[in-house]
Chain A
Amino acid sequence: MSHHIVEFKDVCFRYPDGTEALHNLSFRIIHGESVGIIGANGSGKSTLLLHMNGYLMPTGGTVNIGDLHLTRKTRREIRKKVGIVFQNPDDQLFMPTVYDDVAFGPQNLGMDEEDVQKRVRAALDLVNCYDLINKPPHHLSNGQKSAVAIAAVMAMEPDILAMDEPAANLDPKSRRLLINLLKTFEHSKIIASHDLDLIFDVCKRCIIIREGTVAADGPSQDILTNKILLEENNLELPLSLQRR
């Protein structure tokens, strides 16, 4: 299936203040792959994710999502294909109740009320949060907020799921639940994180970004066990691989 491909070709991006965030960045992710994006603070991970559905447009090079070439005209289509989960769930859950928030996407797709309800139910069941349906987001714990934020994106039924630090602010049990949940998704997944154990668990492939360009790209098994490479990039071995 060619339509779940994510392809970055020589992408450059410069913020209006002159900071060069991405520089000749290229990679290609095929259908169903789960890829971890890792790198030091400020290496360009978040900027990269913001390109995935056209919030930022590359200043050089091209981004292709499936058969679509990212332009201002196609980005509305692309946003239906790529669901992005942000680092801070408070930014993502902007509606006053959980139901309204999860329903926001499907309602914008122009679905009728009954289908919207089905989608909301399915999405909340997926993350085991159906009981929270009538709660306002400010009554939820951080773990519940993250789960609902994922449900809100899943309700759009995206082909590709992109996440920025999904496990930040989660307690160990919520984090474990999230990892198990992510493993059940068959979407193409792109996860940017400093949580190397999470990446090691969920992603088969791993890309290291350094100063806006790809520093290494390969199976997680190779990259996350390469101590020298990781330390060059302000990272360290995943805790589960460290011997004490």
Chain B
Amino acid sequence: MAFDSQYYNVGYLDRLSYQDTFVHRLDPRTKLITTLLFLFTVISFSKYEVAALFPFLLFPAIFLTVGEIPPGFILKKVLLVSPFAIFIGIFNPLLDHGQVAILPGLTLPAGWLSFASILLKFFLTVSMALLLIATTSFPTICHALRRLGLPSIFVSQLLFLYRYIFVLGEEVMRIVRARDMRSYGRKGTEIKVFVRIAGVLFLRTVERAERIYFAMLARGYEGDMPVSKKYHLTTSDLAFALSVIVCLFIFRCYPVTQIIGNFFRGIFS
């Protein structure tokens, strides 16, 4: 059943984020900020840059291994959204007929190069964002955002979204199952049925929202979500942030691939 498996997939990503490893234990603020820095650095490269992007693969690789995240799971998720990136870049080889010299004596068609650059940037940014979510539980990301100054109203929206997406998901699952059981081999997926299910879900959600609001009032809610101050920056956070920033800086400003290449060429010649 398509809905069931999708639902459990989200649940799996969520479960991963509650593991206990070095990456999971880092302060959510450091992870959030370093990930954002990483994204901006990757995006800042020119559209024909490919070689300089390869060193950045180190970051997802480290997050994967230290955070004990199964690589297959992340790869599958990246592939799932890849059509977007492919369609953005697919016409470059057809439209851009220029030639770019990457090494003396070696030129490549500019179109293909920019296509590869787009794909690589896409892979780096999406896998890193996924890894952030897989290594940081959603509530802690929300707390980080709140501590970084995002208005409380947005943060509470996110928190409620996270809390009730699973409740709602289970409700949908029950309804979909009930429909399948009584559609006797017919698909039962006509638009009419779908509209009714959506209507029922909406009404149930409104009623639930009312009960939740009452539960909040009953415990003294007065319009402002309390902020907890459970997280403290430790030295390992600072060390982590510092090393990431230094690495990003080096990868951005120096042609690391070329240096390594020259180094090995020096050894073998």
A positions within 8 Å CB-CB of B: 50, 53, 55, 76, 79-80, 83-84, 86, 88, 90-97, 99-100, 103-105, 107-109, 113, 116, 134-139, 152-153, 156
In chain B between 188 and 246, which residues have their CB closer than 8 angstroms to a CB of chain A? 208, 211-212, 214-222, 226, 228-230
A50 to B213: give the CA distance in the assembly, Å.
13
| Cβ of B137 under 8 Å from chain A | yes
Q: Which of B15, B166, B208, B220 is close to A109, meaning CB atoms less than 8 Å apart?
A: B220
Contact (Cβ within 8 A) A96 B138: yes
A99 to B229: give the CA distance in the assembly, Å.
12
Interface centre among A79, A94, A139 (most CB of B within 10 A): A94
Contact (Cβ within 8 A) A136 B137: yes
B positions within 8 Å CB-CB of A: 14-15, 18, 137-139, 142, 159-160, 162-164, 166-167, 208, 211-212, 214-222, 226, 228-230
A55-B214, A107-B226, A113-B228 known; A100 vs B220 contact (CB < 8 Å): no
A91-B211, A95-B159, A96-B162 known; A152 vs B139 contact (CB < 8 Å): no
Interface centre among A55, A84, A103, A138 (most CB of B within 10 A): A138
**Which residues of chain A come closer than 8 Å to B215, judged between CB atoms?**
86, 91-92, 94
Main secondary structure of the interface of B (DSSP, over half): helix
**Which residues of chain B come closer than 8 Å to A116, judged between CB atoms?**
228
Contact (Cβ within 8 A) B139 A91: no
**Which residues of chain A come closer than 8 Å to B164, judged between CB atoms?**
94
Contact (Cβ within 8 A) A103 B216: no
A93 to B215: give the CA distance in the assembly, Å.
8
Contact (Cβ within 8 A) B214 A80: no
Q: List 8 A-B contacts (CB under 8 A).
A: A79-B217, A79-B220, A84-B218, A86-B215, A91-B208, A108-B220, A139-B18, A152-B219
Contact (Cβ within 8 A) A55 B218: yes
**Which residues of chain A come closer than 8 Å to B216, judged between CB atoms?**
94, 104
**Which residues of chain A come closer than 8 Å to B211, judged between CB atoms?**
86, 88, 91
**Which residues of chain A come closer than 8 Å to B219, judged between CB atoms?**
79, 104-105, 108, 152-153, 156
A80 to B218: give the CA distance in the assembly, Å.
8
